[in-house]
A and B are shown apart, each in its own frame.
Chain A
Amino acid sequence: MITFQVERWATYFPEAKPLWERHWKAIAIDKEEIKLNVDAEKYAAMDQQGVLHIQTMRSNGKLVGYFLAFILPNHMHYLGAGLMAFTDVYYVIPEYLKGGNGAKLFIEAERTMKARGVVKAYLSCKVHHDHSELFKKLGWKLSDYAFTKLLKG
């Protein structure tokens, strides 16, 4: 049985660590130049400060997906506008994507962020893992294009 819940970093990350590796291998770009090296202490500190939102997806208790967002209490452009969420990372083990589980993860993340007081959320996807049709179907509005460029070497 698939369940969705909000969790804390301390319970989430020990189990999530191998998934982050798998996730990075599957979708990251520039892997040769920039290696995965998660600053777990920084995340833990952010969680303690209340600026991290962790939505998990579990199958019979086993972690099979996650959605993380940074919660900015005071966006410097929009003081007083309310909490804003910036999606950090999301992933579902491919074997668990059937049955609309990916959509459900985003629906739950949105619902729980809203319940937390978030008034606006930002979300993106990789060009080579394009979920834009799903996001539109879920009511998200296309507002930005993002670009990256390696400046080292």
Chain B
Amino acid sequence: MAKLAQVAEIISQETDVPAETIKPETTIEDLGVDSLEFMDLLLVIEDKCGQVPSQRIAHINTVGDLLAEIP
């Protein structure tokens, strides 16, 4: 849950989506990001939480998927 809170806070800062509304089942589409914003978001998360394996990035459809890929 601590990891979710940390990632939700980062996402909120990058997207203006309120952190408390971000759940594991929230989709990346729900965040309203385009490709450039998605890459920016990913870079910030990797910077703060660790590298997401490149072969897994395309399979990240939800915040829960993202959490599962963070070391």
Q: Taking beta carbons and an 8 Å cutoff, which residues of A are in contact with B?
A: 1-2, 4, 97-105, 107-108, 111, 133-134, 137-138
Contact = CB atoms under 8 A, between A and B. Distances in A.
A134 B42 CA distance: 13
A101 B42 CA distance: 13
A138 B39 contact: yes
B64 to A, nearest CB: 13
Contacts of B33: 98-100
A52 to B, nearest CB: 21
B40 interface: yes
Interface of B: 27-43, 54-55, 57-58, 60-61
Contact of A98 (B29, B36, B57): B29
B38 A108 contact: no
Contacts of B41: 100
A103 B29 contact: no
B57 A1 contact: no
Contacts of B54: 107, 111
A134 B39 contact: yes
Contacts of B38: 99-100, 103-104
A105 B39 CA distance: 12
A101 B57 CA distance: 10
A100 B55 contact: no
Contacts of A134: 35-36, 39
Contacts of A2: 61
A73 B54 CA distance: 25
Cβ-closest 3 pairs across A and B: A100-B38, A99-B29, A103-B35
A97 to B, nearest CB: 7
Nearest to B37: A100
A4 B42 CA distance: 19
B39 A137 contact: yes
Given A1-B61, A100-B42, A104-B38, 16 more contacts: A98-B32, A99-B31, A99-B33, A99-B61, A100-B28, A100-B33, A102-B34, A103-B35, A103-B36, A103-B57, A104-B60, A111-B54, A111-B55, A133-B36, A134-B39, A138-B39
